Structure 1
Amino acid sequence: MRFFEDIEIGEKTRLGTYTFTEAEIVAFARAWDPQPFHLDAAAGARTHFGGLVASGWQTAAISSKLRAEACLRLHEALQREGRKVPRIGPSPGFKDLHWLLPIRAGDTLTFESEVTAKNASATRPEWGLVFTHETGTDQLGRLAFEFTNCVFVERLEA
Structure 2
Amino acid sequence: MAWFEDFEVGQTAAFGRYVVDRDEVLDFARKYDPQPFHLSDEAAAETHFSRLAASGWHSTAMTMAMIVANMGNDGDVGGSLGAAGIDELRWLRPVHPGDILRCETEIVTVTPSRTRPDRGTVRTRVTVLNQDDVPVLTFIPTALFRRRPTAAEA
- Tell me which protein shows more strand as a share of its residues: 2
Paired residue for 2:96? 104
- Tell me which protein shows more helix as a share of its residues: 1
TM-superposed CA distance for 1:104, in Å, is 1.2
Conservation of the 8 A alpha-carbon contact between 2:4 and 2:79: no
- Taking structure 1 as the reference length, the TM-score comes to 0.86
Question: Root-mean-square deviation (CA), in Å?
Answer: 2.0
Paired residue for 2:105? 113
TM-superposed CA distance for 1:146, in Å, is 0.6
Paired residue for 2:12? 12
Paired residue for 1:126? 118
Q: Deviations over 1:81-115 (max 9, x none)?
A: xxxx8431121110100100011121111122221
Paired residue for 1:137? 129
Paired residue for 1:40? 40
Distance in structure 2 (CA, Å) of the matches to 1:72 and 1:142: 27
Q: Deviations over 1:45-84 (max 9, x none)?
A: 11121121010011110111111111123986xxxxxxxx
For structure 2, list consecutive stretches of 5 or more residues without a partner in the other structure: none
Distance in structure 1 (CA, Å) of the matches to 2:72 and 2:78: 11
Percent identity at matched positions?
35
Q: Which residue among 140, 149, 152 is the counterpart of 1:148?
A: 140
Distance in structure 2 (CA, Å) of the matches to 1:42 and 1:16: 31
Where do 1:35-74 residues align within 5 Å?
35-73=35-73
- Taking structure 2 as the reference length, the TM-score comes to 0.88
Moved over 3 A (4+): none
Distance in structure 1 (CA, Å) of the matches to 2:78 and 2:33: 35
